[in-house]
Structure 1
């Protein structure tokens, strides 16, 4: 007898409907799974057999063949445990079931040796596929409830063990469990109160640059002496970014679910990510890929911030591999057996010392580096990478007066209000969630109109700073963001001057 159970397959972040076909026939007792399953799926045989036995059911000594279709696409994940188990128990008539349930519901879940259902990956993808293809609902482990309930318009049936599955298949009845998230509470607790801009003394230009980054989605490089506050400032950008939207919440939860980064404590992504990979991380860990396509840090930072501290210490090929993600906001990874595409819409914040000893910018310190050593140190950041970074500043240590001052400083809440206002202007301008940093050449010609005097100013800057066409475009994008922060429809001289000032340290 053949039983067919609907489930989900995903490869990279692309999802597809998978049908689990279970055939039970007479013959020598065997248990085979075909259809290009990975090691996790092949190992599921032992989990399933133990789970069935320890739940009080009997596994008949039959010839069991499981086929995962489409058979020509690789399948990954532990979530196939549940549909395979359901197919076996229905196929050997241990479970009586209503045919319409198997036809209208997707099944996903990992089976423990005791027969309990455990949290698994890709639940949000399964719920989206079920809704898009017109299925009635999805059957998932109880621990994945919040992920499943992110997608409205389908039944989300949560089960804790095989007894719950049997009850649902037999009666078709289930108790709908809703989960609610307090959006106001999310906004109030969007960042750590200890990471507020009011705690930062001095470094006014860096604070201003971070505000521009947050408002327009621009990339930022800080070159400064050790201890001048680069890392401290980078962490505080999260306190001025706008709250995450419902669409972004679903998109990020989907990515983190596939990557296996969700936990019982954090089952849904409700804050923008801030990823800080160490400079010893491998290329696959940062960019993504591998034998089975895994999400890298640049994708896990999607809709948030990627902070590369001591950026020149990263391997040169990793830094160069950031070119496409920074420009296209996505990355295509091609290997011998696959090609996948991942989103990389993040703000890059990078920081480094000006030289190997770190003190070449400090007049009061004796730098031990030669001019050649300083040049070689900074050459690790190539011209094409620097072209893709919109704002660059040099930072030195605070003076004694700046360290000791106790004057009131602007809070993150005050800055965030300006950032949100600037993003609202951009949303109205583009009639979408596009930011100024994403403007195309047509957008620039339409929304960045310069008078003759400003064109002459820009012409001088291009000549003196030896700017590329890409750097020219990025100056205009930054100027547009600065004008938006000033609530100005047109780009004025001071806006363009400020945008140019962030390109002075181009080489």
Structure 2
């Protein structure tokens, strides 16, 4: 007898339906799984047999063949344990199940040796797939309840063990998932330990970070060791707006596929801050590998990617950032596959101005020759620098700045301006697009310059040797500065400030 159970898998981040066909017949006791399953799927045979036995179910002594269709597509993950087990139990007629449940529900979950259902990857993808294909719902482990509850419009059936699954298959009854979800804690947007108020001086860097947050722009901080580059970069998280519901679903989906969710953090509710080390491999940062996996640039989606000591990263990794910085996605092509991952992030990068790091400091502290300084900074190619909107130089604080008590803004006050600027952009574009993603058509419509500003821009192009891309990015930054000031038009002071963040290119 052949039993068909619905499940799901994913390639890259795109989900697809998998039909688990289970055939039970007389013959030698052989258990085969076919259909291009990975090692985790092939090893499921032992988990399933032991889990069924310890749950009080007898395993049929004969030939069991499991086929995962479509058979020509690679499938990964332990979540096929549950649909295979359901197929075997129903094929053996261990209980009277309802056919309509197998036809209308997807099953995903890992089986433990005692028959309990364990947390597994890709649950959000499976729930989205069930909704998109018109299925009534999905059966998932109890430990995946919170991420499963993100998807509305379908039944989310939570099971702790195989006995719970049997009860649902025989009666069709299940408890609303809301019963299993604890009341969410109130979101705290500003971490008191990462408040801009704690940072003395460095007003230009603070202002640059505000502009980055307001329009989604990229920033490069070049400065002396110990001047506060890393400290400031971490504090941008305290001024970014909170995630919208659609963004939470998108991020939770990505982190579920990557296996980054846990019982402690089952849903991504805060914007990610990813800071890979410069010794990280290209696959770890960009993504790819034998099976397509997410890299740091995709895990930083809707958040911040911080590259400290950016000049120390391998050159090929930095050059691979061109497409993500421009297109907000990364296309990875290998011999056996081609996938696209989202990577809409703000890139904050930092580095020293030279090998010893003291080039900007007065008093002849730098021991590097001019050729050594030039060689050090040449590690950042022109195309990469062109894609960075703001560049600032930083030095150590002097005695007055360190010991003084000049007025400083709290992150909550800066965040209000950022949120207001983003609301202006949302109303302008009628979408969640930010100024950093404006097209040439958008610039002609929303970043018009008056005659005086055109003269200023003409001189800047000539003196700074700006490319067409750099010209566009200055206009985008100027538009964000105007939005932060709640100005309808780009005024001269907005343009001059935007140009000042490109002066270091000279």
**1:274-353 pair list within 5 angstroms:** 274-353=273-352
Task: After TM superposition, give the deviation of residue 345 of structure 1 in Å.
Answer: 0.2
Whole-Å separation in 1 of the counterparts to 2:446 and 2:337: 40
Instruction: Flag as ranges the 4+ runs of structure 1 deviating above 2 A.
Output: 179-184
Corresponding residue for residue 105 of structure 1: 105
Provide closer, same or farther for how the CA distance between residues 181 and 350 of structure 1 changes in structure 2, counting only shifts above 3 A. Answer: farther
Whole-Å separation in 1 of the counterparts to 2:49 and 2:182: 38
Corresponding residue for residue 381 of structure 1: 380
Task: After TM superposition, give the deviation of residue 183 of structure 1 in Å.
Answer: 7.3
Whole-Å separation in 2 of the counterparts to 1:136 and 1:445: 48
Whole-Å separation in 1 of the counterparts to 2:153 and 2:167: 23
Whole-Å separation in 2 of the counterparts to 1:18 and 1:361: 60
Corresponding residue for residue 220 of structure 1: 219
Q: Is the Cα contact below 8 Å between 2:145 and 2:181 reproduced in 1?
A: no
Corresponding residue for residue 393 of structure 2: 394
Corresponding residue for residue 94 of structure 1: 94
Whole-Å separation in 2 of the counterparts to 1:7 and 1:42: 16
Corresponding residue for residue 140 of structure 2: 140
**1:16-415 pair list within 5 angstroms:** 16-178=16-178, 185-186=186-187, 189-364=188-363, 366-415=365-414
Structure 2, unaligned runs of 5 or more: none
Please give the per-residue CA displacement for 1:282-308, whole angstroms capped at 9, x wherever unaligned.
Answer: 000000000000000000000000000
Whole-Å separation in 2 of the counterparts to 1:382 and 1:42: 46
Whole-Å separation in 1 of the counterparts to 2:91 and 2:333: 40
Please give the per-residue CA displacement for 1:10-61, whole angstroms capped at 9, x wherever unaligned.
Answer: 0110101111000111111111111111111111111111111111211111
**1:468-507 pair list within 5 angstroms:** 468-506=467-505
Provide closer, same or farther for how the CA distance between residues 42 and 345 of structure 1 changes in structure 2, counting only shifts above 3 A. Answer: same
Whole-Å separation in 1 of the counterparts to 2:4 and 2:185: 44
Q: Is the Cα contact below 8 Å between 2:190 and 2:412 reproduced in 1?
A: no
1:8 partner SS = strand
Provide closer, same or farther for how the CA distance between residues 245 and 184 of structure 1 changes in structure 2, counting only shifts above 3 A. Answer: farther
Whole-Å separation in 1 of the counterparts to 2:407 and 2:464: 37
Whole-Å separation in 1 of the counterparts to 2:364 and 2:210: 30
2:79 partner SS = helix
1:337 partner SS = coil
Whole-Å separation in 2 of the counterparts to 1:73 and 1:441: 40
Corresponding residue for residue 10 of structure 2: 10
1:3 partner SS = strand
Please give the per-residue CA displacement for 1:81-120, whole angstroms capped at 9, x wherever unaligned.
Answer: 0000100111111232000110111000001111110000
Q: Is the Cα contact below 8 Å between 2:190 and 2:411 reproduced in 1?
A: no
Whole-Å separation in 2 of the counterparts to 1:335 and 1:231: 35
Provide closer, same or farther for how the CA distance between residues 333 and 501 of structure 1 changes in structure 2, counting only shifts above 3 A. Answer: same
Whole-Å separation in 2 of the counterparts to 1:364 and 1:142: 64
Task: After TM superposition, give the deviation of residue 190 of structure 1 in Å.
Answer: 2.1
Task: After TM superposition, give the deviation of residue 182 of structure 1 in Å.
Answer: 6.5
TM (norm. structure 1) is 0.98
Task: After TM superposition, give the deviation of residue 181 of structure 1 in Å.
Answer: 7.4
Q: Is the Cα contact below 8 Å between 2:219 and 2:349 reproduced in 1?
A: yes
Stretch of structure 1 that moved more, 247-256 or 359-368: 359-368
Whole-Å separation in 2 of the counterparts to 1:183 and 1:100: 34
Task: After TM superposition, give the deviation of residue 249 of structure 1 in Å.
Answer: 0.3
TM (norm. structure 2) is 0.98
Provide closer, same or farther for how the CA distance between residues 488 and 71 of structure 1 changes in structure 2, counting only shifts above 3 A. Answer: same
Whole-Å separation in 1 of the counterparts to 2:15 and 2:310: 34
Whole-Å separation in 2 of the counterparts to 1:104 and 1:351: 52
Task: After TM superposition, give the deviation of residue 177 of structure 1 in Å.
Answer: 2.7
Whole-Å separation in 2 of the counterparts to 1:192 and 1:214: 16
Structure 1, unaligned runs of 5 or more: none
Query: Alignment length, in residue pairs?
Result: 505
Task: After TM superposition, give the deviation of residue 408 of structure 1 in Å.
Answer: 3.5
Provide closer, same or farther for how the CA distance between residues 12 and 38 of structure 1 changes in structure 2, counting only shifts above 3 A. Answer: same
Provide closer, same or farther for how the CA distance between residues 161 and 184 of structure 1 changes in structure 2, counting only shifts above 3 A. Answer: closer
1:351 partner SS = strand
Task: After TM superposition, give the deviation of residue 180 of structure 1 in Å.
Answer: 5.7
Whole-Å separation in 2 of the counterparts to 1:212 and 1:324: 22
Say what the alpha-carbon RMSD is for the aligned residues: 1.1
1:135 partner SS = coil
